[in-house]
Amino acid sequence: MKKFLFSLRRQLLNNRWEDELDEEIRFHLEMSKQQKMKAGMTEAAAKRAALRDFGGVEQYKEKTRDAWGWRIIRDTMQDIRYGLRQMWRNKGFSTVVILTLGLCLGANTAAMSLLKNLILEPYAYKDTRNVVLIGTRYLKIPEYANGISNLSIPQFRYIEENQTVFESLGFIDPYLEFDMEAEGGLERIPGDRVTPGVWEATGVEPIRGRTFTQADLDTFGSRVAVISERLYRRVLGAGQDVFADDIRLDGNTYKVVGVMPESFYLNIDRSDVWIPRDIYSVDAHRNNHSYWALGRLKAGHTLEQASIELDQLFKSYSEQYPEDQREVEVTGKTFDGIPVNDVVTAQVPMIKTAFISFQVVTLMVLIIGCLNVSGMIMVRGLARLRELAIRHSLGAGRFRLARQLLTEVALLFFFGLLVSYLVFDGFIHLTYVLQLDEIPWGQSFSLDYNLFWLSLGLAAVLTVLTGSLPVIGVLRSNLQGLIQANALTHSGGKGKHRFHAFFVMGQIAFSTLLLVLSGVSLLNLRAVLERDLGFERQGRVGVSVPLPSYRFGRDQAAYLEQKEPFRRRALERLSELPGVIHVSAANRIPGSIDDMGHSDFTMPHYTIGENEVNPNALRNNISPGFFETIGSDIVLGRDFADTDTWESQKVVIVSENVVDRYFKDLDPLGMQIRFWGNDLTIVGVVEEIQDKPFFIPETDFTLYFPLSQWEMYAYATTFILNIQGRPEAYIDTIRQAMLEVDPNLTMTITTFEEVFGLMVFAQELPMQLTTLFSVLALFLTAIGLYGLVSYVVAERTREFGIRMAIGATPRSILSMVGTWSIVWVLLGLFFGIAAGAVVCFLLTPVFTDINPMNPWVFVSAAAIIAIVAVLASLKPALRAVRVDPARALRWE
Amino acid sequence: MAKGIFKRKQERGDLLQGTLDLLILRTLQRGAMHGWGISQSIYTVSQEVLQIKEGSLYPALHRLERQGWIRAEWGQSENRRRAKFYQLTSDGKRQLAEETAYWEQFARAVHLILKMG
């Protein structure tokens, strides 16, 4: 310890210590010289002799420094100082390396964080691995076999009573909305109803207060609520103490007991409030499958065990209902669970594809960047061999020099890291620009440090592997010999150029590949955007209004007295607005992610085959004039009319694909469909529309029912308007008009364009990202090429000078440099195009709307690369031509 | 490659490892001395046999200082110049005794071997 402190003091007094050592040695030499002069030598001879007797001054100084233990600290400090000086001296080089590293690492970390937050680990519960989403699985229906479908209340209760593998089990009634009384009037907030088991299953601690328990339900009779951090802040912002004041939801008073953190959500949508759901005292409908269950596996129990038990439970459960046996048989229906974090990848495989493509793209950019950095560091290191050799001869050890080179690389990395953090931050902002925050569950992106280090490690390995070539060179080479042969400037360059050029070629190949990919996804997106949706989106807007039972009642009388008159008044008021062309009402916006549940239908004339299942209906309840409003054509028959009422014959309009599939040679008009126990007469056929986002597998048939015959079951209505001009400009007017009809309304106004944005999300995102990243890649490649050609030209300046001195023309010099770089560019293009062809071939199924082997994409990619290559090498190549022979020969 | 990295040239005529330390310590037993003085003393006392590279004295002096066996102080030399004087510490004296004993034992052993019939 004492020794260490001693060393440390020395270290701090470093400069003084160096001075003292100098003085000590100077004194020695002086004494030696004087002694020799006394013996009769001249002063000069005595000085020489003194130095000879002493030996190498610097060498012994170095050894004396070594005698002290703090050498490593001091050397490192010195290396860092020296490295910083080097960086400053080569500002251009350092900037490029640091920016390259920063861009690549930042982009890659952002990509990986996105992927992780959105797709791979969307839920952050306690020990999320053990949390399982439980539902039904249809093993024999390919579209559903990977995912999990909803449960009914009796099913949940059966599982809860009989299971042994889960330590806790929670029930979720998801995607609800409540009217909350707030300062400025009513506010519509999203929420879920849950059983207390959900809190145990997720294990997430509230940030304030507590969650509710069964005891609360016994005391407060279900009138307790847990709210989100977001709502908490908003309410607090309004100056209310949520714990003291109760909140009012749908006209009822709830006592707030806790606040859940921002990162907590139960379904793939953000809720602001969780209130209890009583599933035991109610008479639950057996066929209402709209619920989820979350279970936490007992310690030591595996998912397989849970799967097996759930399967057995389903068997015993379904024995109670022999009438379901056929459906169970055909669909392969059973209970099953998947880890909650696999939900997104299992339910929406197309989103997974989109994000993996993003990941691959950023990885390629990372490789390009690393090739760039490696190439530059390597070439610079080799270029400095001469300087290193000189320093070696002055007494610097080989390890010392090697360590110093590594310190310089580490410094570049350090600054690259700082920049990458900024870049990461920028990308996070970009995700908002790209509206990734519209993905409901992806609202908080944070830097995942593990991923950050992973990216860094990846880049470090790649770069150090190649960047250490000069270090190895230093350790191995005959440094002394290098000086003597003066070999460094004139020969031995071919090999390193080839290496460097190889890297640049790699970059060109990867850039070409990326350009091809972005071209293909651009074309694909264009094709998707041009797809006929079957309806118009320009000038269309949806106004979604809840019809909560606390205000509108829930039976038929309530419908006739409340909901129907309200709808008529609203339609009338909206149609009076200036600029409104058509108005109608529906239960959802076509193409939106809102899903009114899967219900199957049958047709008396059609007997389903042995292994066939009943078709599922995507249920649209609409008012007369709906098709006119959305610009969809009725192909056959008629629209609904005011004469279609609760009392009249139940009618249905089907989509063209229903006719194509089930009514091939028949006239469907007047034929029957059986749905929810009703016989419906087909009165019309409309053109098929894209009724769900593109990334959701299309398996359902769109059926249209008149609101007037079904709306008594509805808790919400969406008014649809066709407006002249930009619908955004009308939003306030619409809101005002609706409040005139009912001052207590809450509403959500969505343009069809916004809905469309989510519809094409899985196509648009890969396109935007590949394009962005291919621009980045192109930029990096240009830098790489520029660096290569500049370096080669600088190294061969002397040679060019000689050639020009003996009569070479500028043109011939230019062609020498040009030919050399063109060969490498062509090689890169060749490999890039070849790889692009292979990748496009493999991705054919992903690009749904075009043939990805489009020759124009390849030609344009090659052309862009060629242009960039010419531009990047033009400047340095011209520098070669401008070489002044006289100066060049002096170049040392 | 590794061999190449670690290869070190052995300087001919190097003193036995540790011997220089012993010589320095013994010389300093006579009193505080600067580097030049030590080198001259070793040279003359050994009847001009032990010629060490003068420079190699300094790494050794600093090593000994770090071990705590000698202590350094700046003072004035005989020709009124500033010089760094080294002197033995009590630890150094103990070390000298130990090393001297060891050396004598060693020399006796070598002597016996050389003398054997």
Task: Sort out which chain B residues have CB atoms less than 8 A from A2's CB and list them.
Answer: 68
Which ranges in A434-492 belong to alpha helices (H)? 449-467, 469-476, 479-485
Q: Which residue has the higher pLDDT, A731 or A804?
A: A731
Chain A residue closest in CA terms to B35: A28
Q: What is the pLDDT of residues A333-379, one digit of tens each?
A: 899 999 988 887 777 777 777 777 777 777 778 878 877 777 777 77
Query: In 3-state terms, what secondary structure has residue A455?
Result: helix
Q: Does the pLDDT of residue B77 top 80, yes or no?
A: yes
Q: Does the pLDDT of residue A745 top 80, yes or no?
A: yes
Angstrom distance (rounded) from CA A422 to CA A678: 61
C-alpha distances (whole Å) from A9 to each of A12, A31, A62, A192, B89 are 5, 30, 19, 65, 20
Under an 8 Å CB criterion, which residues of A touch B? 2-3, 6-7, 20-21, 23-25, 27-28, 30-32, 34, 53-57, 59-61, 63-64, 66-69, 398-399, 472, 475-476
Which residues, 6 or more positions from A682, have their beta carbon under 8 angstroms from its beta carbon?
A637, A651, A652, A653, A654, A668, A669, A670, A671, A672, A673
Q: Are A122 and A348 in contact (CB under 8 A)?
A: no
* CA atoms within 13 Å, Cβ hemisphere of A195: 19
**Across the interface, which of A30, A63, A476 has its CB nearest the CB of B1?**
A476
Query: Which of A108-117, A282-291, B3-12 shows the lowest per-residue confidence on average (mean pLDDT)?
Result: B3-12
Which ranges in B1-117 belong to alpha helices (H)? 2-6, 19-28, 35-45, 57-67, 90-115
What does the pLDDT read at residue A82?
82
Q: Are B59 and B40 in contact (CB under 8 A)?
A: no
DSSP H or E segment with residue A834: helix A810-843
Q: What is the pLDDT of residues A211-227, one digit of tens each?
A: 999 888 888 778 899 99
The pLDDT mean for chain A works out to 81
What percent of chain A clears pLDDT 90, i.e. is strictly above it? 22
Q: Does the pLDDT of residue A680 top 90, yes or no?
A: yes
Task: Sort out which chain A residues have CB atoms less than 8 A from B79's CB and list them.
Answer: 34
Under an 8 Å CB criterion, which residues of B touch A? 1, 4-5, 34-36, 39, 53-56, 58-60, 62-63, 66, 68, 74, 77, 79, 81-84
What does the pLDDT read at residue B11?
36
Query: Which of A114-128, A391-405, A514-528 shows the lowest per-residue confidence on average (mean pLDDT)?
Result: A391-405
**pLDDT-derived band at A487, boundaries 50, 70, 90:** very low
**pLDDT-derived band at A575, boundaries 50, 70, 90:** very high
Task: Enumerate the domain spans of chain B.
Answer: 16-115
Q: Are A427 and A99 in contact (CB under 8 A)?
A: no
Q: Are A125 and A340 in contact (CB under 8 A)?
A: yes
Q: Does the pLDDT of residue A440 top 60, yes or no?
A: no
Angstrom distance (rounded) from CA A758 to CA A439: 8
Chain A residue closest in CA terms to B84: A24
Strand bridging mode A292-297 / A672-675: unpaired
Span A506-534, mean pLDDT?
A: 83
Span A524-541, mean pLDDT?
A: 86
Kindly indicate whether the ipTM for this predicted assembly is greater than 0.85, answering yes or no: no
DSSP at A713: G
Task: Sort out which chain B residues have CB atoms less than 8 A from A23's CB and list them.
Answer: 82, 84
Structure tokens at B84: 């760094």
Chain A residue closest in CA terms to B81: A27
Q: Does the pLDDT of residue A104 top 90, yes or no?
A: no
Q: Are A152 and A287 in contact (CB under 8 A)?
A: yes
Q: CB A9: neighbour CB atoms within 10 A?
A: 11
Angstrom distance (rounded) from CA A182 to CA A272: 14
Q: Does the pLDDT of residue A542 top 90, yes or no?
A: yes
CATH number of the domain at B16-115, out of 1.10.10.60, 1.10.10.10, 3.50.30.40, 1.10.287.3510?
A: 1.10.10.10
Binary contact (A64, B58; C-beta < 8 A): yes
Angstrom distance (rounded) from CA B18 to CA B106: 13
Span A779-792, mean pLDDT?
A: 77
Q: Does the pLDDT of residue A688 top 80, yes or no?
A: yes
Binary contact (A475, B5; C-beta < 8 A): yes
**Across the interface, which of B1, B58, B82 has its CB nearest the CB of A25?**
B58
Q: CB B50: neighbour CB atoms within 10 A?
A: 15
Give the distance from residue B45's alpha carbon to the nearest chain A alpha carbon, in angstroms: 17
Amino acid at A68: W
Task: Sort out which chain A residues have CB atoms less than 8 A from B2's CB and list them.
Answer: none
Structure tokens at A632: 């969809």
Give the position of tokens 């229903």. Answer: A658
Query: Which of A203-217, A648-662, A682-696, A846-860 shows the lowest per-residue confidence on average (mean pLDDT)?
Result: A846-860
Q: Does the pLDDT of residue A704 top 60, yes or no?
A: yes
Task: Sort out which chain B residues have CB atoms less than 8 A from A472's CB and list them.
Answer: 1
Structure tokens at A48: 């020489």
Structure tokens at A258: 């806790």
Binary contact (B4, A55; C-beta < 8 A): no
**pLDDT-derived band at A775, boundaries 50, 70, 90:** confident
Q: Which residue has the higher pLDDT, A599 or B25?
A: B25
**pLDDT-derived band at A495, boundaries 50, 70, 90:** low
What does the pLDDT read at residue A570?
93
Angstrom distance (rounded) from CA A175 to CA A161: 26
Q: Does the pLDDT of residue A22 top 50, yes or no?
A: yes
What does the pLDDT read at residue A669?
93
C-alpha distances (whole Å) from A429 to each of A422, A423, A435, B77 are 11, 10, 10, 71
Residue in B65, B66, B67, B81 to test binding to A, most A beta-carbons within 10 Å: B66
Which residues, 6 or more positions from A3, have their beta carbon under 8 angstroms from its beta carbon?
A69, B66, B68
Binary contact (B66, A21; C-beta < 8 A): no
Q: Are A666 and A725 in contact (CB under 8 A)?
A: no
